[in-house]
Each structure stands twice: as structure tokens, then as C-alpha cells.
Amino acid sequence: MGGKPRVAFFDFACCEGCQLTVLGLGEPLIELLEHVEVVTWREAMSEKSEEFEVAVVEGSITRDSDVPRLKRIREQASTLIALGSCATLGGPHVSANRLDQSDLLTMVYGDRAREFEAGEVRPLSAEVQVDIPIYGCPINADEFVSVMKHVLLGRPYRVPNQAVCHECKLNQYECVYDRRQICLGPVTRCGCDAICTSRGHRCFGCRGLVDDPNLNAAREVLEEHGYRVEDILSVFELYATWARPEEGLGIVEPRAAVKSRKGSEPWRFRSSI
């Protein structure tokens, strides 16, 4: 190939806020564009190409009819980056999985529900191999730049794997538990620079559970303030049900297999004019 690495952006079910965070970078993005060639980015450009080395994919998979497109992207890309909470965890709409898909469709489309398609909300990794996950709802723009630098230099990227508490403490923010609120900081993956607690809010766990959470320490913090590990599970439902945080938190035994698909073959969306 020669020349600059070719990068393509794609999206599935999401708000496109992570791509917009990239677009909102301004000058650093212009600098980045000196080192890579963006060949496909539907949201920002009409140029299109099937030839690329790096695929940046935002969004979750919610319909079986979207899977072939994702698989084509995977086949073409030598590096696939999953961008944001939807792509890495299923996203803030993952809790729609609590409900039956036909009920969801009826809720929105009423008696015409059968004309539309819904499926289980799942991260990209449920369908294809993801090389680098960038967590966050939305992503941290600086982390995106850092990942791209690693990719350009051919260096392995180490995904942040400490608890949000770590970054929160470094910034010397007031502990949310001292204000008697539940915060997912003790067990949530960092990399966000504790942006939510920086404004006196709490952590909602948008980056999912840290690998091997320090459960003893988390339990201690929780118990000290009158909570149990189980109490934080309902908040984790917001983003992380696919990743089965109840296993990571040691509340239930890990399951061997991936969560089974439910429901029968969904109706494909078709135009009918």
C-alpha cells in the first residue's frame, strides 16, 4: 500500500456522540489527518472506499440484519477499534434487553409492530473480534488520540484498567459516598479522568466493570456507608448488563457460555411502497 494508513469510520445503533467527540477535537484532529487518510466517514464525508486498514466502529448491534455489514468491516480491517459504550458494552440502551422484543416493538409501533425488526442489544465483540476497545459514554477524546498514536506506531495499546476512584482521588475530588450517594467509582474502569465526580455528580459505570475489581476494598467502602455490593447492580444495569457485572462483582457464579439469544427469527425491516 505505501502512504498513510487508511482509516474508515462506521456506526450501528448509537447516538453518534463518540464520532462527534472525535469531530469536536478541532486542531488535534487536523494534525491527526496529516498522518492518516480517512477514506470513509458517512457522517462527515461523501467519499467512500472499501479499502482501509483501520476501522473505527461506533454503536451496538441490535438487528441480525446488521451483522453482515459488521462482518464485512471486520474482514477488511487489520485493526478494528470499538468506539464508545455502545460498541464495547451495548450502551445505555442495553437495558432494553430486560423486555421481550415483541413488546418493545408493540410499545413503539402499535399494531404495525410486525413490520419492524428488533433484536437483542449486544456489543460488537458478541459478533466479531475487537482489537481495541475505547470505553466511555461518550469516549474521552484524549484517549482516542492516544489509541490512534499507538496504532500508527504499531505499539500495543493498554486499555485503562484501574477503578475510577483512582483518578477521582488523584484529582482530589470529594468522595461521593461522603455525600451519602451511591457511586460506581470503586469498581468502574477509569480513563474518563473522573469527569462526572469532577462536577459533584456520581459515576454511572459507563465504562463497565474494571477487570478483576478489588471486591474487598469495594465492599469495605460500601459497607462503611451502609450499602451492599448488590445495591450497585441496578445502576450497572444502565450500561453493563451484557458484560454480566453480577459475575465480576462475585454476586453469582460466572456462566460458561455467552448469554443465549432469545426470541424467534425477527421480521426484517423492508420498505413497502
Partner 1 sequence: MEIQVEHITRVEGHGNILASLQDGQIERALFEVVEANRFFEAVVVGRDWEEVCHIAPRICGICALSHSCVSLRATEAALGIEVSEQTKLLRRLIMDAEVMSSHALHAYFLAAPDFLGLPSVMPLIRDDPEVVRRAFRIKKAGYELGEVVVARHTHPVGSVPGGFTQAPSVTALEKMRGRLVDLREDAAATVELYRKLKVPQFERPTTYVSLRRPDYYALYDGEIASSSGDSVAGDRYEDALREYVVSHSTAKHAQWRGETYMVGALARVNNNWRQLRPEAQEAMGALGLNPACHNPFMNTVAQVVELVHCLEDSIALIDEIGERGLSEEEVEIEPRAGRGVGVVEAPRGLLIHDYWYDEQGRCTKAKCVIPTGQNLANLDADMQGYLAEITDRSEDEIRLRLEMLVRAYDPCISCSAH
Q: Which is nearer to partner 1, 201 or 255 (CB)?
A: 201
Is residue 74 a contact partner of residue 57, using CB atoms and an 8 Å limit? no
The span from the first CA to the last CA of the chain, in angstroms, equals 44
Look at phi and psi of residue 16 and say left if phi exceeds 0, alpha if psi is from -120 to 50, else beta: left
Distance of CA 234 to the CA centre of its chain: 18
Residues between 148 and 207 that touch partner 1 (CB under 8 A):
195-196, 198-201, 204
DSSP state of 235: H
Q: Which is nearer to partner 1, 255 or 268 (CB)?
A: 268
Under rule CB under 8 A, residue 35 binds partner 1: no
Q: Which is nearer to partner 1, 215 or 233 (CB)?
A: 233
Closest contact distance (angstroms) between CB of 207 and partner 1 is 13
**154: helix, coil or strand?**
coil
**61: helix, coil or strand?**
strand
Under rule CB under 8 A, residue 16 binds partner 1: yes
Q: How many residues bind partner 1 (CB under 8 A)?
A: 62
Under rule CB under 8 A, residue 233 binds partner 1: no
* Calpha distance 63→148 (Å, rounded): 29
* Calpha distance 218→245 (Å, rounded): 14
What are the cell numbers at 255? 456462566
Under rule CB under 8 A, residue 14 binds partner 1: yes
Closest contact distance (angstroms) between CB of 255 and partner 1 is 24
Under rule CB under 8 A, residue 131 binds partner 1: no
Task: Report which residue type is found at 123.
Answer: P
Under rule CB under 8 A, residue 261 binds partner 1: no
The residue written with cell numbers 474487598 in the block is 216
Q: Which is nearer to partner 1, 58 or 246 (CB)?
A: 58
**144: helix, coil or strand?**
helix
Encoded one letter per residue, x for contact with partner 1 by CB under 8 A and - for no contact, window 234-253 reads -x--x---------------
Is residue 53 a contact partner of residue 25, using CB atoms and an 8 Å limit? no
Encoded one letter per residue, x for contact with partner 1 by CB under 8 A and - for no contact, window 74-113 reads -----------------xxx-xx-xx----x--xxxx-x-
Strand 6-11 with 37-41, pairing: parallel
Chain residues that interact with partner 1, rule: CB under 8 A: 12-21, 23-24, 26-27, 29-30, 33, 38, 41-48, 62-63, 66, 91-93, 95-96, 98-99, 104, 107-110, 112, 115-116, 118, 121, 137-138, 195-196, 198-201, 204, 235, 238, 269-273
